[in-house]
Structures are given as structure tokens and as C-alpha cells.
Chains A and B, each alone.
Chain A
Amino acid sequence: MRYIRPLSIEDAVGQLAGSAGISAILAGGSDLLVRMKGGFVEPDLIVDIKSIAGLSDIRETADGFSIGAAVPCAVLGENAALKKSWPGVVEAAKLIGSKQVQGRCTITGNLCNASPAADSVPALVAAGAKAVIAGPSGKRTIAVEAVPTAPGKTSLAKGEIIEAILLDKRSPRSGDAYLRFIPRTEMDIAVVSAGVNLTIDEHGVVTAARVALGAAAPTVLLVEEAAEALIGRKLDEAALERLAKVCAGACRPIDDKRGTIEFRRKVAGVLARRAATTAYARAGGK
């Protein structure tokens, strides 16, 4: 096994592109090291990206925020501007694992681990976040929901690295929220989860919305029909009921050790409704 710590993204891309066998990217290591320790993966090459310039920074730009791929989730919670603009994304990132894990883990790693139960991903999808990808043939930017393709699989090609996650500048009267269901209070993985992001007009009518569900299908689901249930309406009981019903219906969950199909459907609806209520309040809706 070879471990390298490149100083530039070009070097990292080059090393990955030229490697034979199994290669892995290391940021916080909260997934990779656990998988290695469990004997599930034995990489031939590990590329540690934490020393690459800029990858450990959160930058506020004219368009919004750029969150470097090596920024630990705990750091998101310490960025007041990010927290104010995207409280749902930050609260999702701050639910991963435990305090200790949050000091290491990253939202990019969470995305690339491609678990349908990843906590930060539904919040990022609801937020319309984008991933900036560096690769052997240059850079490209795609929607985060296009990154995971199946449990444990991504659309990234050989040699490609996500460099940063982009979040838009907030329009006024907007709010987002993320909720997950776990049987414990922490140190757990979502049985089912929901992220809601919405914008309202001065009358409290929803003008834009995105709703995403986690652990409800092989990848995180962006439920457009659920957004439609909210858009053009105030967040009254009827709209919330409709949202819950659509979300329950949109799920394609499985029965497993963490929960049943029946339970996941029901709770997906409940969480979507509760997350929408919080997002609405954060947007200033009453």
C-alpha cells in the first residue's frame, strides 16, 4: 500500500489517474479507515488531499459559498455566514457520527461514500448544491444528486476528485431544514430522512421548493412532486398532508435491520412535514 499527500490538485489527479489497482481518496477517513479496519477494502494507493491548497477552506463568493473537499463538518458549524444562509445543510453535516467524527469527516466524503443514508446529502440535494470535479480532462461542475449512482458507487471517472461543494447565494425569505430518524439520539445512521429547502413571497406563499429523501431508495431521492405540493401554497395543513403523502409514496425503501418498508414510508412523510415546517419558519413564514 502506498500513501501519498500531494500539495496540488493536479498532482493528486495525476497520481490517481496513473495508479494501478485499488485507489482511495483520504480526507477525514471516517469511512475509509473504518472500511480498511473491517477488512472490506485494501487499497493499493491512498491519496490524502488534506494538504492541497484551498481544499480546507470555506470561501464566500459573489455566487454563494464554496466548501473545500477537506473541510471537516465541525468547521461548517463554526462558519456564521454559512450557518445563517444554509442552516439545514449545516445541521445535517453536524449530525454525522459523533462530535469526534465531525471533527474529521467531510460533506464531500459523505457524498462520495454514496450511502443512501448519508446525512448531509439530502440536505445538499434540497439546497441545490453542486460539486466541482477536477479530473485528467479538466474541471466540470455537476449537481450533487448526479454524484451517487447506487449504494457505494459514484459517477466519478478514474482520476477524478471532487474539489469543492458549491452552495448558491441565498435569495431573501428562504429557509432549509434537515431531519433524520434514528432510534438513538446520536452515533447512528438514518433509518429514513428528509431535507426541505424553500423560498416564500411576502405573503408567505411558497415560490420555490426542493424536497429530498434519504434512506428511502438506492440513492438519495429528489422528489419533484413533493416540491410541487408546496409551490404556490402557504404551508397550511392541507399542503403538509399532501407533502407527507407524496413523500411516503415516492419512497422505494427496503426491509432491513434498520427498519421496515412500512415504517420508512410513514416516517418519511412525517419527517418531510416537520422539516418543511421548520424551513418555512426559517424563511420567515408564519
Chain B
Amino acid sequence: MNFDPRFSGRKFASVGTRPIRPDGVDKVTGRARYGADFNMAGQLVGRVLRSPHAHAKILKIDISKAEKLNGVKAVITAKDLPDLTDGDAAMYDILDNCMARTKALYDGHAVAAVAAIDARTARQALKLIEVEYEILPHVTDVDEAMQYHAPLINDTIFTEGLEEKPVKPSNVTKRSQFGHGDVHQGFGHADFIVERSFKTEQTHQGYIEPHACVASVSSDGTAELWVCTQGHFVYRQHCAQLLGMEASKLRVTSSEIGGGFGGKTHVWAEPVALALSRKAGRPVKLVMTRDEVFRASGPTSATSIDVKIGARKDGTITAAEATLRYSAGPYAGSWAEIGAMTAFACYKLDNVKTVGYEVLVNRPKTAAYRAPSAPMAAFAVESAVDELAKELGMDPVDFRIKNAAQEGTRSSYGPVYGPIGIGPTLEAVKHHPHMKAPLKKNQGRGMACGFWFNFGGQTCVDLNIGMDGSVSLAVGTVDVGGSRASLSLVAAEELGIDYSQLKAIVADTSSLGYNDMTDGSRGTFSSSMATISAARNAIKILRERAAQMWDISVDDVIWEQGHAVAKREKHGNLGKLSLKEIAAQSGKTGGPIAGHSELVADGAGVSFATHICDIEVDPETGSTRVIRYTVVQDAGKAVHPTYVEGQYQGGAAQGIGWALNEEYIYGKDGRLQNAGFLDYRIPVCSDLPMIDTQILEIPNPNHPYGVRGVGETSIVPPLAAIANAVSNAAGVRMTHIPMSPPRILAAIEAERGE
């Protein structure tokens, strides 16, 4: 297939407009089917028994009483999920996380599960399962876990990435390093140096829809799974591998998704539901409670970060260095590594060095959360950059403009940038009216920048033209933010037809080729590329059919605004044939008309944003109020601007919650204290102002329309922007996220010397 993905700079008819999304009406009327809305005849209720201990050896599990309870159809433990991972360490971790094998590694770790005829029976059965634990010492804090005498979570872990293999196991699974130049020398040339340590607490994506699935394993060994996920193809692979099935024998259908943000990229309940169904011989529905979602899905890392930045009097940064420690939960991850890559990505630096440490703790396994790892690194770096600007007596925006990366800059994590948006977002912020708006007493303004890589990956799209000329588009990237609308716009653009003539769906795993999951802001970027390619393939067939109908050479047929047009110089009297007219004759001209595309979408353009916010602090209580918030971000090309703005606002809203109140609070016993939305405080509507957005469009040269991913970058700057605003309002530098009222009040009083 000859598909040219390069940016062409065309004019758009559909792309850039704002039609209603195809999934909109069903969502607002309650008809849309989410994970828990699938049901099957004879379906059982699955429930999971979870460890109440942060760290414990499982000595014995007695399920005999539970099995005897009337209405219980299956009880499973790790024995029912034998190890088929064949040396794949990452898959083994997933298996162990789904069902603890020898040790419970965190409060909430699954140890057994039941399937029963109703929820009450299932709950009773859980109480009848007897688990004998030997409680082990635990550690939940990232810094404490790195201490020499910290309780060991896995004694087979020896830190990777060191010059010599350590002699002793530890909770540090890996050290990674990025950068170039010589920071020691760079700091020698600095007139001013800021050096600070920061902490951020663990947060959860806080998606409204809990994990839910229905699993049905047939007696012939084939199975179906209906599930709320960001990637049904990936779920299929993982579940098939863990259960010893061939992937093609497991058909996975993704439901509508009530939020994922990276948290629905991993399997937790699904292999358990399949194992229960296999044992019971009946379909099993497994829906997590909110408590289970907090305790046993995949929150982001807690971090501890040291930053040092030096600059000359003229405002040139001479060196920048950071050490980043990220908690990974009880299994190895690469979270600090990503943090170390993104930390200084906004800047043009001659001397830069970042070191990341992945740290095991007795908390749930860390999963991706919207631009995973980047917000915490940006909080530390952008706080220090702000402080350095103050010391230099420079405006914080001008200081950043002076040091901003640009096309040709070698990034702090290695690659050389193409055309990028950091400079333009900063210039836009500099001239934004928000920056000049007056502030009242106890109010402070902050701004900060953020970066995210974006991702492309494997993608497959089918575009089918019906005999009535309407078009169905089947994509394999789960729609988490309006991508069905955006992809319909793209198909309409290519075909030259109206948006209303199209209907896009997310196809199941047996109906379409493999797709990577919707992560890395890839949904619209990669699937639009495949949609363009599929549409162009369909157009080729449409031209062939028109040529047949006219009985002329296909080379004499061009495609223009939804019509086949015969070249005028040769066939001036032929007029044109609409897509509809060609489709109507398709039975006689060679059968159904379709376009397919399978590709790896390379060249996802990196994305930058700059945010501004105003915060009011009550100096007597430490209470905060977000007064005004502005997001400026590069979208490459906004296919559906409303949903681009929605992504900007959503990232900012999540960042505001993270910055001000959200945190996992563990007791001394290692148990999570606030596994619910009452005491895990995501913002409510009245906590937020209307978030203002400004879309910049600096085309991605590697996409036909210039599209870049937009979903994640918006959560990168908020922690830092808000910290800078609070620090300015309160008159004291805040270094611990979330900046909850008790932390702010304590900082204000410490500053006053009280």
C-alpha cells in the first residue's frame, strides 16, 4: 500500500467543524451501554476477596466452606490461574497482581474470588473463605522504601542500570539516566542556582465508571468478554495468554467508557472473571466497587524529586539536573524513567542530567495516568524555574521564552525536535489578556509549561460503503474523547461527503485487525491516519467502478467533492457520478465497495502547553479557590475543536484536583484510609471556574492533516502552574502536592515563624 502520511497543507471542508458526536444522544439519554450494562442469561455475580494487609505471606486458603454454600457456582484462587507466562516477567507480574500467588503485596490485593447466583450469596461466600496470613513488615512511602533497612518487597530484585550489579537486593528495581553536556561545568558558569526538593502524593485517575466486565467461556473453550477498557485488543492478548487460549478464540467487545485516563490499560478483573466463568460453566459479571477501584486498580506514582537549575545573569540556563524517585507499587515499572525523560523537555539546554529510580512499595501497581509521570516532574522543574526567574528579577514568561526549546534543539531525552509548539504557546501566554488582569488581595498568579511525547502505533480501520451510499467506519481504538466524531469528520473530508452520511463504530476484536490501545494520545492521531488511508483505498475502487460504468479508463477518472469526475478534456460530456450512484450499481460492477487500512502510525508529533492560573488563598485557613484558568496548547490540527477544548479542560480539571486535594492516605497499618470519593477529593463542578482554552495549530509534518495527539499534555502543567500561583498568593514556596489546606496553613505559619 502506498500511503503518504506527510502533511499536505490542504484546505478543509469538514475537518475543523463542530458537529454533534454520534455517541452523544445515547449518552445523555442513558441508552449507551457501559461496562456494567451488559447482561447474559444465566449470568452469575463475581466478587473478589482482597487482602486486608499491606504485606503478608499467604500460608493457606481454605475455600471448602464457601464452595458448599448454596448458590455458589465457583470459587477460585491462584491455583485456578496457573502460571503460563513462560518466563515473561511483565506478564507474570500482571498474573500475580490479578490473583496473589504466594504473598499479598498491598491492601486490596486479590487472593480469591467467587461466582454465585446473586450478590448476597457472593458476599456471604467471601466471608466463608479462610485465609491464613503471616503478616510481614511493610513500606508505603517512596523515600522510606529506598532506605537501606526498608522491608524488602521482592528479594529477587537487584537494581538494574547500575555500573555493577549490587550485592544486595533492594526495592529499587531500576536506575535510568538521560541528558547531555556536563552539568558540573554548567553550574560553574551560573550566577544564580536554585536547588529544591519536592514531593507529590499518589493520585487516582478518578474515572467515574468502575471496572466492569461480563465473561462467558463456552464448553468448547472459546470465550467472549464484554468489558470497559481503553484497549480491547490488548485485553484479549493478555487474557488469552494468562488463560492459555488462542487469541482468536476470545472475542472481546469494548463498551462505552466512563473515563479511563490510562487506568483502563491493564487487566485486573477480566482474567478473574474468565477463570470464574470457565470453572462455573456460566457467564460471570464482575463489577468493581469504588472501594475496590481505589484499593486495587492502578493509581499513579507518589514521587520525591530533587531539582537543581543554574542560570547566568542574562537569563540563560547553564545547567539543569534532577533526581526523580517514583513509586511503582509492588511490581517493576518505568515510571521514573518517563519522568526523567520529560522533566526538562521544554528547554534548550547545553548541560542537562536526569536520573530516575523506580521504587517498589506496598501500594497497588502503578498504572498510566494521562501523560504518566510527566506532571510530577513538571511540578518540580517548573517550580524551580519560577523561583530562578524571581531570583534573576526576570518575568517568568520571558525567562522561559529565552530558554525554550525550538526546531533543531536536541531534547534533554535525546531526539532532535522538528517544528514544535513550546515557543508559540509561551508567546501566546505573554500576550493573553489573562496575564494582565488585575489580582485582588490574597490572590496569586502562576504559569507553567508542559510536554508530552504522544504515540502512534498499530492501527487498523475498515470503511464500508453501503448500497445506499451511506458509509460505516469501523475503528479499533476505543473512543475515550470523541474520536468517533473526529474520525467521521476525517472520512467525510477524504470522501467529500457530508458528516451525516457516516456512522463510526468501535469494532470488536474478531471484526477488525489488531489495534494498540487508546493511550499516548494516539486515538485520533493514528486512527485518522488509517481512516485517511482506508478512504483513499475506497476512492480508488469508486473510481474503478465509475470507469466501468462509463466504460472508460480509470486513469481518466478523478475524485472530486464526493463524485467521480471524468477528465473533461477527454470525456467532457460524461458529467459526474456521486458516491451514492456508484454504490447503487456496486452489485453489478464487482460487488461491495470498501476501503481498508492497516498501518503503524509513526511520527506522532510531540506536544507542548502553557497554562496560566489565578488562585486565592485564605491565609487564616489555607483554603484555596481557583479564580481563573487558561490553557494554551498546540493541537497540530484540531479535527473537532470542541473535543480538543474538552481535552484541554479535562486535563486542567484533573490537574487542579491533583494539585489541591487528591491523595492516597495510608495509615500506619499500611491500609488505605480514603478509598472513596468522599475523602479522596476530586473537584466538584462548583470548585472550578470555566476553563478557558486557546488552540494553537503548528502542523505535525508526519500526518496528512498535521494532527498531533492532544489528550494528555493538558495535565502536565497544572500542578506547577497552581503551585506557582499558590506560592505567589501565600508568599511561601509550596513544595508538597497536594497543597491541601492543612499543608498551606502550616507553610504560611512556618513562614511567619509561628
Contacts and interface: CB of A to CB of B under 8 A. Distances in A.
B684 A186 contact: yes
Interface in A167-224: 181, 183-189, 191
Contact of B742 (A38, A188, A263): A263
A266 B623 contact: no
A183 B660 contact: yes
B745 interface: yes
B620 interface: yes
Contacts of A257: 665, 673-674, 679
B108 to A, nearest CB: 15
B686 interface: yes
A39 B673 CA distance: 17
Nearest to A273: B620
Contacts of B41: none
B678 A270 contact: no
Given A183-B681, A184-B681, A188-B678, A260 B742 contact: yes
Interface string A245-286: 000000000001111101100110010000000000000000
Given A186-B686, A260-B742, A263-B742, A181 B673 contact: no
B741 A185 contact: no
A94 to B, nearest CB: 14
A256 B679 CA distance: 11
Contact of B741 (A183, A186, A189): A183
Contact of B684 (A184, A256, A259, A266): A184
A184 B687 CA distance: 6
Interface string B639-674: 000000000000000000000110001000000011
B741 A263 contact: yes
B623 A181 contact: yes
A185 B684 contact: yes
A23 to B, nearest CB: 20
A186 B688 CA distance: 12
B578 to A, nearest CB: 51
Contacts of B622: 263
B123 interface: yes
Contacts of B660: 183
A37 to B, nearest CB: 9
A120 B687 CA distance: 22
Given A183-B661, A263-B745, A270 B686 contact: no
A258 B622 CA distance: 14
A262 B665 contact: no
B681 A188 contact: yes
Interface in B695-754: 740-742, 745-746
Contacts of A256: 673
Contacts of B481: none
B621 A270 contact: yes
Interface string A159-170: 000000000000
User: Which of B622, B681, B683, B742 has the most A CB atoms < 10 Å from its CB?
Assistant: B742
Contacts of B686: 184-186
B746 A262 contact: yes
A263 B754 CA distance: 13
A74 B395 CA distance: 50
B210 to A, nearest CB: 13
Contacts of A187: 684
A240 B374 CA distance: 47
A267 B684 CA distance: 23
A185 B681 CA distance: 11
Q: Taking chain A's interface residues, is the majority helix, strand, or loop, or is none over half, making it mixed? A: loop
Contacts of B745: 263, 266-267
B621 A189 contact: no
A263 B746 CA distance: 8
Interface in B212-264: none
A259 B742 contact: yes
Name, among A189, A257, A270, the residue most crowded by chain B CB atoms within 10 Å (CB to CB): A257
B621 A267 contact: yes
Interface in B386-427: none
Contacts of B673: 256-257
A185 B660 CA distance: 13
Nearest to B624: A183
Interface in A10-54: 38-39
A270 B681 contact: no
A168 B171 CA distance: 64
Contact of B623 (A39, A183, A258): A183
Given A257-B679, A258-B679, A181 B684 contact: no
A101 to B, nearest CB: 12
A184 B661 contact: yes
B78 to A, nearest CB: 25
Contacts of A262: 742, 746
A270 B741 CA distance: 14
B683 to A, nearest CB: 7
A181 B624 CA distance: 12
Interface in A95-111: none
B116 to A, nearest CB: 15
Nearest to A39: B123
A140 B369 CA distance: 57
Interface in B603-629: 620-623
Given A39-B123, A263-B741, A266-B745, A181 B678 contact: no
A32 B451 CA distance: 47
Nearest to B684: A187
B222 to A, nearest CB: 36
Contacts of A38: 291
A183 B684 contact: no
A15 B628 CA distance: 56
Nearest to A183: B661
B90 to A, nearest CB: 34
Nearest to A189: B678
A38 B622 CA distance: 32
A270 B291 CA distance: 34
A285 B622 CA distance: 29
Contacts of A267: 620-621, 741, 745
Nearest to B621: A267
Contacts of A189: 678-679
A262 B681 CA distance: 21
Nearest to A244: B620
Contact of A181 (B291, B661, B683, B741): B741
A183 B123 contact: no
Nearest to B665: A257
Contacts of A258: 679
Nearest to A258: B679
Interface in A230-247: none
A62 B454 CA distance: 71
A143 to B, nearest CB: 30
A188 to B, nearest CB: 7
Contacts of B679: 189, 257-258
A185 B742 contact: no
B36 to A, nearest CB: 15
Contacts of B621: 181, 266-267, 270
16 contacts: A38-B291, A183-B623, A183-B660, A183-B740, A183-B741, A184-B661, A185-B684, A188-B678, A257-B679, A262-B746, A263-B622, A263-B741, A263-B745, A266-B621, A266-B745, A270-B620
Given A188-B681, A266-B745, 19 more contacts: A183-B623, A183-B661, A183-B740, A183-B741, A184-B684, A185-B686, A185-B687, A186-B684, A186-B686, A257-B673, A257-B679, A258-B679, A259-B742, A262-B746, A263-B622, A263-B745, A263-B746, A267-B621, A270-B620
A-B pairs, 7 with minimum CB distance:
A263-B742, A185-B686, A257-B673, A257-B665, A270-B620, A183-B661, A257-B674
Interface of B: 123, 291, 620-623, 660-661, 665, 673-674, 678-679, 681, 683-684, 686-687, 740-742, 745-746
